[in-house]
Amino acid sequence: MNLYEKLINKEEKLSLVGLGYVGMPIAVAFAKKIDVIGYDLNDHKINLYKKGIDPTKEVGNDVISKTTVEFTADKTKLREAKFHIVAVPTPVNDDHTPDLTPVKAAAQILGRNLTKGSVVVFESTVYPGVTEDVCMPILERESGLKCGKDFKIGYSPERINPGDKVHRLETIKKIVSGMDDETLDCVARVYELVVEAGVHRAESIRVAEAAKVIENSQRDINIAFMNELSIIFNKMGIDTKSVLEAASTKWNFLKFYPGLVGGHCIGVDPYYLTYKAEMMGYHSQIILAGRRINDDMGKYCAENCVKYLIAADKTVKGAKVAILGFAFKENCPDTRNTKIIDIVRELNEYGITPMVADIEADAEEARRLYGVEFVDLNEIKDIDAVILAVAHAKFSNFTMADIDKFFGSGKKILLDLKGLLNRKEYEAAGYSYWRL
């Protein structure tokens, strides 16, 4: 009997190493079919899951409270599983080089608790070669086992979109790969248990790694183009959103929009690809150019806020500015690598300490990572300028009366970064309105 059959017969267990926005939904999905051990070294997070609380808001408290996942911070519990999925973050350092610390640490922990006959699948986004050249040697060293003989490895890049209730693990086709045909077949069949959209069997682990890293690089470059267009059209006095609405009437026009590119995927993955390219002697031109544009957009938004304050004869230093939204994307509590912090820091350079409110974001995380303290929306009064930064559903439903309450006397300055509101209506009401 092979490992797949033992899993569905509940003679063996699957483990999930890393229970964040990606790992936890995977664990919950598999638990509907097989026995699952969910491991994370964060005791606080594990305790929340055990209490039926979903801090990620990805599946909800009701689902967490009913799942059969065995949540644990005890690494030795991993010895009870034979099929292991590693889903930990792969961020970048301040110099934009890959930070493989989390994935290396996960490989060390798993290696010390690996048993013969196991299959280890990595989901973390990495540059081609990391699974086999970095992670595999760690697993061998820590376990004393031999890859290919005592255990096998595979790679299946995560495609979960945090905050997205439509494109989920079950509905997105899954790329799978393995070190040999036998492993590939096992990995594919296991994932087919939960991925209704089916799987794509990549011809090698490196192909799967490369496919993942270019998916978000492609989006990053397209968004960078939109951001550059926004800068150009702003100088021309042309509304970018109106231009894109007109251009999108052509059947093959790609519908991308300008915006702040944060989070732990689109704003990070391109650096993994360019880092590997540098190792091979090639210096990226298009990819890094796009990264430079996108990384500067927070500063660009703050500068426009200052320009509008000056144009409205308002004192810049000490101006009362409110930022609505701090998460890296809409309807998501995750603030990691949010680009809203770039707006905050640039405004600080002008002597402005903005008030920040977010009804979705993790307040404790924002405080710990950035030193930002959220205020309640009701505390935002007598404001000179409002920056509507994140398209949370509640913010999208704001009426003009809701927006009016934030302002004091004088010109009302509104920076609607995502273009949520009707520009003509606000300008007709006397607002000084700007958007990307």
- Cross-strand bridge partners of residue 39: 17, 72
The two structure tokens encoding residue 358: 């977010």
Quickly tell me which residue has 């320009």 as its tokens: 307
Q: Which of 101, 81, 80 is nearest to 91 (CA)?
A: 101
DSSP letter, residue 154: E
SS3 128: coil
Instruction: Give the integer Cα–Cα distance in Å for 145 and 73.
Output: 24
Q: In this structure, are residues 53 and 24 in contact, taking their beta carbons and an 8 Å threshold?
A: no
Q: In this structure, are residues 139 and 153 in contact, taking their beta carbons and an 8 Å threshold?
A: yes
Instruction: Give the integer Cα–Cα distance in Å for 348 and 360.
Output: 24
What does the chain come to in residues? 436
Known catalytic membership, residue 186: no
Query: Exposure string (b/e) for 65-91, b if CB count within 10 Å is 16 or more?
Result: eebebbbbbebebbeebbbbbbbbbbe
Q: In this structure, are residues 386 and 415 in contact, taking their beta carbons and an 8 Å threshold?
A: yes
User: Angle CA(55)–CA(124)–CA(36) in degrees, nearest 5?
Assistant: 60
Instruction: Give the integer Cα–Cα distance in Å for 320 and 379.
Output: 12
The two structure tokens encoding residue 322: 């409110």
H helix count then E strand count, the chain:
18, 13
Quickly tell me which residue has 């790992």 as its tokens: 23
Catalytic residue chosen out of the listed positions 135, 147, 186, 265: 265
Task: Report the greatest alpha carbon distance in the chain.
Answer: 77
**What positions carry a catalytic annotation?**
265
